[in-house]
Amino acid sequence: MNVYLGLGTNLGDKERNLSEAISLLSSEVGVVVKQSSFLASKPWGFDSENEFLNAVVLVETNLPPFDLLAKTQEIERSLGRITKSANGYSDRLIDVDILLYDDQIIELPTLKIPHPLIAERDFVLIPLAEIAPQLVHPVLGKKIIDLLSGLVTI
């Protein structure tokens, strides 16, 4: 299965955080086939003085979606993330989001694939378009590059 994962960090040694996450994904999830450049971005959805560093990776995995979710959360914890933000967003050492899982659509309280905010986030669309510009969003029916060109940034 081809899985696109979004990575983000805004605390500590950000480049190291992303590199360690990618290394753990490679050893525990599957083969990292493509990796975007690291992209600096401003916090989204909350105020912070800490700029983010983001990336997107394409991973070939045999893990089913819920096992993948458990593994990505385990990787976050192993890199120092205590809990996911329950009431809004906050600073974090690492965040690993499942963006797309082949062309599957899952709409459950604990897992939503594709990630529901892909089309609203330039820090996801820019690195995703770098490695998969022609990929079609399974719900919106648009290519990633077209979603990016249609995004209005402030």
- CA-based Rg of the chain, rounded to a whole angstrom? 14
Instruction: Locate the domains of the chain by residue range.
Output: 2-117
Which CATH code of 3.30.70.1350, 3.90.226.10, 3.30.750.24, 3.30.70.560 fits the domain covering 2-117? 3.30.70.560
pLDDT (mean) for 144-151: 91
Q: Mapped to the 3 state alphabet, what secondary structure does the chain carry?
A: CEEEEEEEECCCCHHHHHHHHHHHHHHHCEEEEEECCCEEECCCCCCCCCCEEEEEEEEEECCCHHHHHHHHHHHHHHCCCCCCCCCCCCCCCCEEEEEEECCCCEEECCEEECCCCHHHCHHHHHHHHHHCCCCECCCCCCEHHHHHHHCCCC
Query: Does the pLDDT of residue 3 top 80, yes or no?
Result: yes
Q: What pLDDT is recorded for position 25?
A: 98
- Predicted confidence at residue 152, as pLDDT, reads 60
Active-site residue list: 81, 92, 95, 97
For 122, half-sphere exposure in the C-beta direction (CA atoms, 13 angstrom radius) is 13
* Predicted local distance difference test score (pLDDT) of residue 99: 98
pLDDT digits (tens, 9 = 90+) for 47-99: 778 899 999 999 999 999 999 999 999 999 999 877 655 555 667 899 999 99
Handedness of CA 76, 91, 119, 86 (dihedral sign): positive
Helices 14-28 & 65-78, crossing angle to 10 degrees?
Answer: 140
- Tens of pLDDT, residues 9-38: 999 999 999 999 999 999 999 999 999 999
**40/88: higher pLDDT:** 40
Q: Considering only CA atoms, which of 120, 103, 75 is closest in space to residue 4?
A: 103
**From 43-52, 82-91, 104-113, 138-147, the region with the lowest mean pLDDT:** 82-91
Please check the confidence at residue 154 and state whether its pLDDT lies above 50: no
Among residues 55, 50, 54, which one has the least CA distance to residue 10? Answer: 50
pLDDT at 42: 87
